[in-house]
Structure 1
Amino acid sequence: MFHLLLAARSGPARLLGPPAYLPGLEALWSPRALLLWLAWLGLQAALYLLPARKVAEGQELKDESRLRYPINGFQALVLTALLVGLGMSAGLPLGALPEMLLPLAFVATLTAFIFSLFLYMKAQVAPVSALAPGGNSGNPIYDFFLGRELNPRICFFDFKYFCELRPGLIGWVLINMALLMKEAELRGSPSLAMWLVNGFQLLYVGDALWHEEAILTTMDITHDGFGFMLAFGDIAWVPFTYSLQAQFLLHHPQSLGLPMASVICLINAIGYYIFRGANSQKNTFRKNPSDP
């Protein structure tokens, strides 16, 4: 992940070969980044706990019970956007965020590791019926990586469900927006390419959160334990690598004419139509294989 972040901001932007430079510890560790990251997680956790427009039941578990999940991810996205907008109107320097991506990625990785240790220890006292089928090999490294407990919770706060879509996906949108603002500061206005990247990826995130209930039938929720693989992927890999396109455009501006932009929009629209239709069909089948 760090190699990708360094490559995106380097002159040649080469993925093959060593990075143009290796950052020292002072470039990776920042108490300010740690506080900002913890505040972000706290904000998303608080939004998770707000009253939901709907509470859905998950798939049937080994003990024939069903867990309940708040469907308020899109609400969290909208409220986050409103809070960020209010902050910017009050002078929040969102354009400064791109300069903190390396230390933020570092503390996110550190958080994922510590969180995974907590999850592994918590699973030691979980009932057998609560364990995931794949993360209980007896090999502690393997089980730590895949996760032992299927749905680790404290009261009704579901850690895996929370991490799956909230801090990472919404954080991805925020990083993209910060990169757009930074480009506007550097060049007077964002490029058309930057606008398209922000728009397309916002559509993807908005779609995921609007159809949040569909995640309850996916393999991540129904089969995989919650260990380092998902924790790191959800809160570190997603926001900092999925925003690589916008990071690249900030450091390597690309000219894009309207004809080519129109073609790109058409291709994206076709792809989104196929993506949404396929995902809806998969979700319907998983919920009821007999559905016509």
Structure 2
Amino acid sequence: MKFSEGDRVLAKVPSTQEFEGARVISARGGKYKVQFEGGSEQTLGEADVKARRTSRSQTRSKTRVGAKSPTRNSPGRRSPGRRSPARAPNTQSRKLPVRQPRQPKISIPRLEIPKDNSSDTDRTEGSESLKDEFVEPSMRSNYRELGPVTRRSIRIMSNASKAEHDQKLSLLKGADRSASLPAERKYDASSEGKERGFSMQPDDDVLILDYKDKADGDSGEKRKKINLISKPQEWGGWFGALLLILFTPVYALLLQLVCSFNNCKYKNIFNLVNKRDWKSLFDLNAFLMYAGFIAFVAIMSALPIGRLIDGQQTKTGRLQYRINGFWTLLFSISALFGCHYYGYRVDDIIIGKLMPLSVVGLIYGIILSIALYIKAGRIPVSNLNMYAATNNRIYDFWQGKEVNPRVGPLDIKLILMRTALIGTIIVNLAAIFKISEIKLGWSNVDPVAIAVVSLQIIYALDSLIFEASFLSSFEVLYEGTGYMLSLGYLIYPFLTSISIRYLSHHKVQQPLYLQCFFIITFIIGYVVYRLSNHQKDKFRQNPFESSVSKLESIPTKRGKRLIVSGWWGYVRHPNYLGDIIMHWSIAFLCFSTDALPYILAIQTTLLLIHRAVRDNARCQDRYGYAWEQYCSRVKYRIIKGIF
């Protein structure tokens, strides 16, 4: 560590390029906790802390106090005394002419404004906004005109240059930074240092957008450039996005229709010819129930319950999240059990209205995605999702033009995620209560049904308990919030209930040892999923922590490192592998010849395989040669030897 506790340093003020005096409070793991002169405390990296420069005049004055040069006081250097005969012996001797001192070379700090602002979230180590420059020739000519230079004149000139420096800083402080990129330095587009989720494509696929930002005062206009991807890169382009936009609601609706009758089979699709059944798709109470549930989750997300953590660094600042998803779940479950205890059969209402509730989820998802698309057209260009800022509206609508859209203190993506997870737990609990009622007691309930509900709840509960680590996932950090995520989150609770609804109508004849085998397989998948995510999250927070400091990694020009040992040295996405194992374990527990229990496992597998392909392409553009080295060490994406 460069500095230790108690050292006086210059620290970078957050969200600015200005350095101010501060004192180091603690130093740990490459991070410094400093206290500014105003009393505020911040945690900064090594690149944002530098040594305080001691002024030359103070240093020289300290060394001269109480000490005289022995050379100057030597007898050999004394001038022989000359006395005029006309003067009295006690007359003061004549002074020699003062030797003109050399003109000093003065270093004056000058503010350097970066010509190219970076769009990356990673800070370049050693980058500073203030550099020492020599005095310009025009200023030196001014020094000569002043005549002999004394210490007093030097102080006057230094104060003048300092006033000019402060004036430049005040102009920058008054500038409007809301639509500008952060001031970290940006690598060239052909370099390896590229940030995932931002502009990282070849020149022929990148749109250079020029816009003007007016600053206050006399700072004038500043022209900036932002790289936007001008062509759709994923999902089969705009045509593939259009097919998915049309197919997703039809697919979700058909899955609910096959389980909306007295049995749960895919042959129920043919019963749709009866037009009377379409009336059951819409229910006003279902609209109000789902709207109330989403509002409850949003209100809980805004309350100061739970700890506040820092999220990713965006182009306009660092996001903050209130971690209270588990508390929201506890309140929801308490309300459900309370209603059930006092005779209000909320579970009967939920199971009886699953079909209209799923239709409401589709409608709300479409409305929300349209609202987010309109909202994204009014935000600064720097806030856009670079992978959904193309020239095609269909593709941008599918992907989502914003990664983390917010309305005041509410994070829309976080609310949708909690709605999906908590809704999954509530629907599964309501289903098992309904089955126990039909079977006239818990003793008559099929153990497979209890096992399936339990495993579904464990899977959803994990993301709520470890919500802080889930916020560092690809889905939260880099996936746009558009039609895809809005619809997917709001219909997810009803897709996961297909398995338990199927078991409520069919008796599973499966040996006990097979049931135990699939439960153990689920536990193995969960261990792989949880430990790999935990290892990744710890390494991102502090790669010098004892639990992850021994992991082998490859450095990149972005300042990050790619893990090539541990869980992430086995395959590139071990968490995806664990996720797939868990879903197929639940599907095989149903042990059915019907396709319905396997729908969710097939959907999850295809989704994660496609996400691994997308992530590989983005990382290749982002890390370049470092990613090629990583792929040569870790050859397979999800399943070793297969894919």
Q: Could you say whether these structures have the same fold, taking a TM-score greater than 0.5 normalized by the shorter chain as the test?
A: yes
Q: CA deviation at 1:289?
A: 6.3
> 1:223 pairs with 475, 478, 482, which one?
478
Residue equivalent to 2:295: 42
Residue equivalent to 1:261: 515
Answer yes or no: is 1:234 the counterpart of 2:493.
no
Note closer, same or farther for the CA distance 1:20–1:253 as it changes in structure 2 (3 Å cut): farther
Answer yes or no: is 1:120 the counterpart of 2:344.
no
| Cα deviations by residue, 1:256-276 (Å, 9 ceiling, x for unpaired) | 554443333222222211111
Residue equivalent to 1:173: 425
| Cα deviations by residue, 1:161-215 (Å, 9 ceiling, x for unpaired) | 2212x11111111111111111112112332111111111111111110110112
Q: Which has the larger radius of gyration?
A: 2
Residue equivalent to 1:204: 459
After TM superposition, the score normalised by the length of structure 1 is: 0.91
| Cα deviations by residue, 1:130-174 (Å, 9 ceiling, x for unpaired) | 11111111212211111111221111111012212x111111111
Return the alpha-carbon distance in structure 1 between the equivalents of residues 385 and 284 of structure 2. 36
> 1:5 pairs with 240, 252, 256, which one?
256
Counterpart AA for 2:421: L
Q: CA deviation at 1:38?
A: 0.8
Q: CA deviation at 1:241?
A: 0.7
Return the alpha-carbon distance in structure 2 between the equivalents of residues 129 and 56 of structure 1. 23
Residue equivalent to 2:530: 276
Q: Which has the higher contact order (CA 8 A, sep 6+)?
A: 1
Return the alpha-carbon distance in structure 1 between the equivalents of residues 394 and 342 of structure 2. 47
Answer yes or no: is 1:21 the counterpart of 2:274.
no
Q: CA deviation at 1:285?
A: 4.1
Answer yes or no: is 1:61 the counterpart of 2:311.
no
Answer yes or no: is 1:133 the counterpart of 2:386.
yes
Answer yes or no: is 1:90 the counterpart of 2:345.
no
Return the alpha-carbon distance in structure 2 between the equivalents of residues 178 and 12 of structure 1. 17
Say which SS state the counterpart of residue 329 (structure 2) adopts. Answer: helix
Q: Where does the alignment leave 5 or more consecutive residues of structure 1 unmatched?
A: none
Return the alpha-carbon distance in structure 1 between the equivalents of residues 254 and 383 of structure 2. 37
Superposed CA RMSD: 2.1
Q: CA deviation at 1:246?
A: 0.8
Say which SS state the counterpart of residue 403 (structure 2) adopts. Answer: coil
More strand by share: 2
Note closer, same or farther for the CA distance 1:233–1:61 as it changes in structure 2 (3 Å cut): same
Contact 1:131 1:225 (8 Å CA) reproduced: no
1:94-105 equivalence runs, <5 A? 94-105=347-358
Return the alpha-carbon distance in structure 2 between the equivalents of residues 200 and 253 of structure 1. 19
The farther-off stretch of 35-44 and 264-273 is 264-273
| Cα deviations by residue, 1:32-91 (Å, 9 ceiling, x for unpaired) | 11111111111212222232321111111124x211100011111111111111111222
Counterpart AA for 2:326: F
Say which SS state the counterpart of residue 253 (structure 1) adopts. Answer: coil
Identical aligned residues as a percent? 30
Counterpart AA for 2:338: L
The farther-off stretch of 129-138 and 87-96 is 87-96
More helix by share: 1
After TM superposition, the score normalised by the length of structure 2 is: 0.43
| Cα deviations by residue, 1:232-275 (Å, 9 ceiling, x for unpaired) | 11111x11112211111112232455444333322222221111
Q: CA deviation at 1:286?
A: 4.4
The farther-off stretch of 40-49 and 65-74 is 40-49
